[in-house]
Amino acid sequence: EAQVTQNPRYLITVTGKKLTVTCSQNMNHEYMSWYRQDPGLGLRQIYYSMNVEATDKGDVPEGYKVSRKEKRNFPLILESPSPNQTSLYFCASSRTGNGQPQHFGDGTRLSIL
């Protein structure tokens, strides 16, 4: 089954404790992306990756890091999480980055205390 898998689905942690949210896709997609969703703001793109070793900032990259060492994986790293990063996070992938529709994971709800 074609899917985008995120882990964990839920996480409560404290300020400053480094965390990683993993994302994996099994569709051999080139383009992967991370979004955060906050009430009234819709989905805002954090980082995207056109292919392995190619990452670019989205609209809200501050406080986040990503890496793309393999085509299927695109982890999101919060080196020193803060309460304003409490949000619902989605990973997505598409065949290419040129207007192809993105397939979304089921989301990760992060709470930073």
Partner 1 sequence: GQQLNQSPQSMFIQEGEDVSMNCTSSSIFNTWLWYKQDPGEGPVLLIALYKAGELTSNGRLTAQFGTTRKDSFLNISASIPSDVGIYFCAGQYYFGNEKLTFGTGTRLTIIP
Q: Which residues bind partner 1 (CB under 8 A)?
A: 4, 31, 33, 35, 40-45, 48, 50, 56, 58-60, 90, 92, 97-99, 101-107
Minimum gap (Å) between residue 51 Cβ and partner 1: 11
CB of residue 67 to partner 1, shortest distance in Å: 18
Give the residue with the Cβ less far from partner 1, 23 or 112.
23
- CB closer to partner 1, 81 vs 97: 97
Strands 10-13 and 87-94, bridge-based pairing: unpaired
Nearest to 27 by CA among 104, 93, 112: 93
- Shortest gap between Cβ of 73 and partner 1 (angstroms)? 18
Q: From the CB of 52, what's the least distance to partner 1, in Å? A: 15
Nearer to partner 1, 24 or 102 (CB): 102
Amino acid at 85: Q
Query: Is omega for the bond preceding 83 within 30 degrees of 0, making it cis?
Result: no
Question: Pairing mode, if any, of strands 54-57 and 65-66?
Answer: unpaired
Query: What span, in angstroms and rounded, lies between the C-alpha atoms of 97 and 34?
Result: 13
In the bound state with partner 1, the residue whose beta carbon lies nearer, of 1 and 99, is 99
Tokens found for residue 112? 């930073």
